[in-house]
Amino acid sequence: MSQPTDPSDAARLALAEAWIAQDPDAETRAELASLIEGVRAGDTAASAELADRFDERLAFGTAGLRGAIAAGPNRMNRVLVAQAAAGLAAYLVERAAPGTTPSVVIGYDGRKNSDVFARDSAEVMAGAGVRAILLPRLLPTPVLAFAVRHLDVSAGVMVTASHNPPNDNGYKVYLGGDDHGSQIVAPADAEIAARILQVAESSTVPELPRGSYETAPESVVDEYVRQTALAADAHTTQPRVVYTAMHGVGWETMARVLEAAGFATPSLVEEQIAPDPAFPTVAFPNPEEPGAMDLSFARAREVDAELVVANDPDADRLAVAIPDAASDDGYRRLTGNEVGLLLGWQAARRAAAVTGDSGPNGALACSIVSSPGLEAIADAYDLDFEATLTGFKWISRAPGLVFGFEEALGYLVNPGTVRDKDGISAALAFLSLVAELQAAGRTVADHLDEFVERFGCHDSAQVSIRVTELERIGEIMARLRAAPPASVGGIRVERIEDLSDGFGGLPPSDVLRIVLEGGARVMVRPSGTEPKLKVYIDAMSADGTVEERRAAASAAVSALEAGMRELVA
């Protein structure tokens, strides 16, 4: 057998063989063994793949872990998950008050190995002295987020990769106590990551002690259903609805919530209703992606639906579509900003009804890359407003929160129940809005017009630049900082705010905010979960008729989009 010619291959091969020796998964052991054979045979592609897997480690950050399932420290697998569980357990034990036992609740969705990773986590954490509770079956992410608070545990873990490609999986971490069930933020992420690395450097997986875990009672799910159903308003109509779970875990829980809230069972996209880790009908299981909702639109045309509702695979996101004669499909998916503004308006009206003339009673919050229209709503209803860094780990922490959203189809409508985005409760809130409009003889399209009349037209667009080499993203950000543009798409730049050192009370973040003449805004940042550079564009017009406002805002957004595509090319 030939030997590798690159001296660094020898070191990687030794690491790979040591990995196989501790890996409890026969599938990843076999595929890594095959890769080793390729390297020993002189296959340069195999050498590059081995380097990619072993030269770096999958980073544990504020989004937890997320990556493709395969062997090696830069992939998702049972070795990495066991190390993560042991590291998180060490962190929880260190933080626990003297004489107390820390606790964790663990959930999992329908992706490949989600159940395996969840059981491994429960056993390893139990072996490390943590009371470990496993949810009774595969369930949506919002149920896990709810369980952290409901069971009053120290932490929560959700095994999911949300809407990532089929072969990905991930590991979200929530904290109880003073964090109130929100996802981790700095410095907890770095502290947990350090303990995970200590485990990886000092122990093998077979050496990690394992213990017995508990299984949560069905009453946890029952209580989530009961409390979520309270997000619905009283209604006298039953809109015709089509629902898809996008091959994920949302339908069982969604069906129970709809029934508890008094809504009829929707027409289903049967091909996508059951959990399926292969996601056979979609190239990318994300309702935002082109073509992902084609089957939903086809079903909607069959039943003449007034609303299409889609969850992503772990049901923490919501997409909705409404009839649109101008669309080739007969339906138009609303943007995340449109849904967020309508739900924010609904939440503000509810808050005002409770407070009357007593002044602000709560806050609306959204990420800095989401529509500024939410602040206009807060001002109109005398509510506080907070713009946070991207992610519900930040939005959920806004003081006095009554509603929060981010443009990536994430909505938090019931902060007293779940401190994370929740596609099920958001769907119920939106369905309540549709029923209310229907009872008054109006449609969602009418309501969007009413929004423009009252708050102006807030138009938006997004540009995503997918890269094969992450260094490319850093190069573009460095170029924009070194040579900031004087104009974008013919619109003069008033100032550029660099959030890398913190700005306006926000924690430091790799974000550039370009403020333009006329109140338009462009945000540029690397994606936190995918190899993409993301550009967010917002413009507003409050002059003229509804049609004139839309035309003006749309023209500004189009010009800015063309200009930014040139700048980041």
Torsion of CA 5, 6, 8, 9, to 10 degrees: -60
Residues 6+ apart with CB under 8 A from 70: 28, 31, 32, 53, 76, 77
At what angle are helices 114-127 and 78-95 packed, to 10 degrees? 40
Strand stretches in 312-409, DSSP E: 318-323, 331-333, 363-367, 384-388, 401-406
162 is catalytic: yes
Catalytic residue among 103, 162, 267, 371: 162
* 538 contacts 460 by C-beta, under 8 angstroms: yes
| Residue 417: φ, ψ to 5° | -110, -45
| Complete DSSP assignment for 63-105 | TBEEEEBSSSTTSBSHHHHHHHHHHHHHHHHHHSPTT---EEE
The 3-state DSSP class for residue 170 equals strand
- Residue 55, token pair as written in the block: 């030269």
- Residue 376, token pair as written in the block: 């206009």
- Per DSSP bridges, beta strands 214-215 and 131-134 are parallel
Residues 6+ apart with CB under 8 A from 270: none
* 233 contacts 298 by C-beta, under 8 angstroms: no
* 273 contacts 245 by C-beta, under 8 angstroms: yes
Closest CA to 542 of 524, 510, 519: 519
Query: Which DSSP category does 506 fall into?
Result: B
Closest CA to 61 of 559, 529, 555, 560: 529
- Residue 175, token pair as written in the block: 């904290």
Helix (H) / strand (E) containing 497 = strand 491-498
Strand stretches in 252-337, DSSP E: 267-268, 307-311, 318-323, 331-333
* 189 contacts 60 by C-beta, under 8 angstroms: yes
- What are 188-194's contacts with CB under 8 Å, separation 24+? 188/91, 189/60, 189/61, 189/62, 191/91, 192/60, 192/87, 192/88, 192/91, 193/59, 193/60, 193/61, 193/87, 194/87
Q: From CA 273, how far away is CA 277, in angstroms rounded?
A: 12
- Residue 142, token pair as written in the block: 């919002």
Query: Which DSSP category does 471 fall into?
Result: H
Q: From CA 470, how far away is CA 7, in angstroms rounded?
A: 26
Per-residue exposure over 169-191, b if at least 16 CB sit within 10 Å of its own CB, e if not: bbbbbbbbeebebbbbbeebbeb
| Active-site annotation, residues | 162
